[in-house]
A and B are shown apart, each in its own frame.
Chain A
Amino acid sequence: MSKLKPEDLERIAGPSAGGITKITVHMGTCGIAAGAEKIKDLLLAHISEKEPADVVLSTSGCAGLCSREPMMTVERRGEAPVRYVDLTGDKIRKIFDTHVLGGNVVEECVLPEVAEIGFFGKQQPIVLKNRGLIDPGNIDEYIARNGYRGMAKALTTMKPEDIIGEIKDSGLRGRGGAGFPTGKKWELCRKTHSDIRYIICNGDEGDPGAYMDRSIIESDPHAVVEGMVIGAKAIGASHGYVYLRSEYPLALRQLEQATEDAREYGLLGDDILGTGFNFDISIHRGAGAFVCGEETSLIASLEGRPPEPKIRPPFPVESGVWGKPTAINNVETWASVPQIILNGAAWYSDIGTETSKGTKVFSVVGNVKNTGLVEVPMGITLREIVFDIGGGIQNDKAFKAVQTGGPSGGCIPESLLDLPIDYEKLSEVGSIMGSGGMIVMDENTCMVDVARYFLDFLRGESCGKCSSCREGTEVMYEILTAICEGRGKPEDIDLLIEIAGAVKAASLCGLGGTAPNPVLSTIRYFRDEYEAHISAGRCPAGVCKSLINYRIDEEKCKACMLCVTTCSVSAIRGEAKQPQRIDPEVCMKCGACSEVCKFDAVIVE
């Protein structure tokens, strides 16, 4: 391949432009888990059997609607693309014969219009604009969809100050959690006097429940590369690092491929696009530590030192990797940059609220019908996300709370569902934006147990440098465990609030500073649940093992005996063809019987 010049970008077009039938199987990590690999093999077998002319099989990253995986899109010449969901072998045969070869859409396998409009209709894809549409391993397809055009504009027509000005005007704020204005960060980094500067892409997506960074890299890795080149030009950096979680092997492969291809095209390396600008990226794999998402820890880890945070100032923009000025941004932030440069700051800042501009990707997961990644304008309400896009609560149970911001965030109750989402509004109600995880919880979720879960996470991930965080999270966890096991004391709630204050005030980095949020927000909105555990010895949601019992409803039991064969301790007994009974002495409350029962006859009390 020869190195490209800016004018060459216009000439590269994707393979679909030739006018053929294109089948795209969506193969993100989630799609593969749901069986996309088999779907692809089946399609290949069909194609080699029938040898149709003009059919192209392609793969892409995640299409966004994880709950309906495996998915594929069929796009016939000149027709609108059709999304097929919940695929199986039989469906594939039918779709292949009737639609791909015959041209008639197989309506029963298509994503229903209600879900299509609900889930995709309210979204405004900017960062995710290429998801499910391009093959992430094919750089030409990215370029064909306006790829690297923003970079070409920045390198050929803009001065570094112009780029920074544009990003500042756009109002883009860090998508990793804290929401620091990106343009301001770049400016500070550029102004620090130094011979060398670095940029880092923080892909250590540690928040449980958030996976947009994985998905962006898996389905559109070039967007991140392009964003980083633009940032490097603005800041004056010659080298960039991508720090990627070890848990994301597919993302690592895609990104390695992307940087290699970009290098071959002359879009990375020396003399990019013939403009004389030099910049390259190296990829650094994490090794599984939540605290590495904190910028000073990440830098320590990158340098091969124990990843403990250090005192700021000096901030990384003054002294980062190897003591040089370093601008560190999250994957989603970098991926937003090319679009802003290409379409202009005004276009971007038109979207969103007063203080938070643009769109944000959220992972809507938990007890909702449509789980997946959604990109929505800032200022949308939680209700719209949970009920319109998410399609409401699974099995039509009652909504209880939505947890945002990962372990540093909080739980937001039903009364605040009409809250427009932006950085400030979320922190007002005791949560944070975080990286955009949104875990929806139904009535069967115990909020004390949720708080305990997060504290268990945090006590394990605390690096141990500050005693307030190391010991504080441990003590809070012990108290919460006692409450969950029915050993709670009435004064425990106030004690938790007091410890939370100390941990918040006395910890160095963001992990400790926000560690008490899950406890404080659940106490603030769900104090009655804490009190039920402590004074009544009852878990209202039926989760805390020590406080519940399983019982079989004799009216509903049809004596199918499924639970009897499932129970691993033989606690379920009874006469044949009669309603069964659970022996509470033997039962270890694993809940397997209630999972398998088709008649909802197992009751939790």
Chain B
Amino acid sequence: MNDTKTVGSVLVIGGGIGGMQSALDLADSGFKVYLLDSAPAIGGTMASLDKTFPTNDCAMCVMSPKLVECGRHLNIEIITWADVESVRGEPGHFSVKLVHHPRYIDVAKCTGCGLCVANCPVRNIPHFDRDAGLPELKEEDSKRITGILGRRKGQRGPLVSVLQDINDEYHYLPEDLLRHVAHHLEIPLSEVFSLATFYNAFSLTPRGKYTIQVCLGTACHVKGAPRILDALERELGIRAGQTTGDRLFSLEAVRCLGCCGLAPVVTVGGDVFGEVTQAGIPAILAEYRKAVEVENVEIKA
């Protein structure tokens, strides 16, 4: 028997990264390949990953060329949205019966714009016990979050507003509260986090009493804002994005505060300082440190 002779065709079941690679290798060696996947498209789980171990390669960057190659390879025929019903026969002579699920979409006309997905009203159907795993809240937090959610009741697309309200009250977004928000608004937690981490105004870690914003707009940049930021980092002993140990100051670099006429601009706790110099920084900070000391003395008294 001559094993190297290529005859017949191969069915690869599962169109994930492994299935695609197998299909490509087989097809390149001359076999006709049927690549089967039970999902509406090939690609599998890897598409939902960000980076892959151990090389930290971007997952989509690894797999998208293979997706394209599978789609264009003359020896590969992709069958998606189908399951195997039965397999009969023996090695070299199999006969497989597939069930093709209906797609309800004219594949020839669909351009993949995604509009129908966004507009389908049936979504986010939970398949698990909805109340399980919700963290316990302190009574006060529970009251505040109920208040915030109550205020936004009936508003269409309330998520960003709710996050802003929480941010206004807590100066950051506590994780436990986000879990409750996701639960009450019936939005996947992943979506809540995707918004919470997308916007610059939100932080997932507690911030100090005063937030120092250093404007890095273009006008501020040409007038030396990076040097001001460096000086503040040295003075406070923290990097941009961090909070001092005494929870007094958080340091942030922001894009543009719209005070370009007074560049370079720094704000401390909402107060705007224009034409800031490195030498003037200690005096600005001292004012706020003093204010806190006075407050503490008053509380003690």
Check if A and B associate. yes
Q: How far is the CB of B251 from chain A (nearest CB, A)?
A: 16
Q: How far is the CB of A465 from chain B (nearest CB, A)?
A: 11
In the assembled complex, A358 has its CB within 8 A of some CB on chain B: no
Q: Which A residue's beta carbon lies closest to that of B256?
A: A208
Count of chain B residues near A, Cβ 8 A = 54
> Beyond A208-B217, A208-B255, A249-B270, is A287–B260 a contact (Cβ under 8 Å)?
no
A69 CA to B269 CA, complexed, in Å: 22
Contact string against B for A residues 583-605, beta-carbon threshold 8 Å, 1 for contact and 0 otherwise: 00000001110011000000000
Q: Which B residue's beta carbon lies closest to that of A457?
A: B255
Contact string against A for B residues 176-211, beta-carbon threshold 8 Å, 1 for contact and 0 otherwise: 000000000000000100110011111000000000
In the assembled complex, A305 has its CB within 8 A of some CB on chain B: yes
Q: Which B residue's beta carbon lies closest to that of A439?
A: B218
B115 touches A595 (CB 8 A): no
Q: Which of A33, A206, A439 contacts B259 (CB 8 A)?
A: A33
A246 CA to B263 CA, complexed, in Å: 20
Q: Which of B61, B161, B217 contacts A467 (CB 8 A)?
A: B61
In the assembled complex, which residues on chain A have CB atoms less than 8 Å from the CB atom of B200? Answer: 287-289
B255 touches A365 (CB 8 A): no
Q: Which B residue's beta carbon lies closest to that of A562?
A: B279
Q: Which B residue's beta carbon lies closest to that of A301?
A: B160
Q: Which of B115, B163, B224, B270 contacts A287 (CB 8 A)?
A: B163
In the assembled complex, which residues on chain A have CB atoms less than 8 Å from the CB atom of B277? Answer: 595-596
A568 touches B234 (CB 8 A): yes
A285 touches B273 (CB 8 A): no
A32 CA to B265 CA, complexed, in Å: 12
Interface on chain A toward B: helix, strand, loop, or mixed SS? mixed
Q: Which of B156, B201, B217 contacts A246 (CB 8 A)?
A: B201
- With a 10 A CB-CB cut-off, give which of B163, B200, B224, B227 has the most chain A CB atoms: B200
A314 CA to B115 CA, complexed, in Å: 9
In the assembled complex, A138 has its CB within 8 A of some CB on chain B: no
A69 CA to B156 CA, complexed, in Å: 42
Q: How far is the CB of B152 from chain A (nearest CB, A)?
A: 10
In the assembled complex, A333 has its CB within 8 A of some CB on chain B: no
In the assembled complex, B157 has its CB within 8 A of some CB on chain A: yes
In the assembled complex, which residues on chain B have CB atoms less than 8 Å from the CB atom of A245? Answer: 258
**Residues B54-70 near A (CB distance < 8 A):** 58, 60-61
In the assembled complex, A205 has its CB within 8 A of some CB on chain B: yes
A75 CA to B195 CA, complexed, in Å: 50
In the assembled complex, B30 has its CB within 8 A of some CB on chain A: no
A214 CA to B259 CA, complexed, in Å: 9
A287 touches B272 (CB 8 A): no
B279 touches A29 (CB 8 A): no
A306 touches B216 (CB 8 A): no
Q: Which B residue's beta carbon lies closest to that of A64?
A: B261
In the assembled complex, which residues on chain B have CB atoms less than 8 Å from the CB atom of A69? Answer: 261-262, 274
Which A residues lie at the B interface, using CB under 8 A?
29-30, 32-34, 66-67, 69, 205-211, 214-215, 245-249, 284-290, 301-307, 310-311, 314, 319, 322-323, 363, 365-367, 371-373, 403, 406, 437, 439, 441, 445, 450, 453-454, 457, 461, 463, 467, 471, 566, 568, 590-592, 595-596
Q: A323-B119, A590-B230 are in contact. List 18 more A-B contacts (CB 8 A).
A: A66-B260, A210-B256, A249-B270, A304-B161, A306-B198, A311-B113, A322-B156, A366-B223, A366-B263, A371-B260, A406-B218, A439-B219, A457-B255, A461-B255, A590-B234, A591-B224, A595-B224, A595-B279
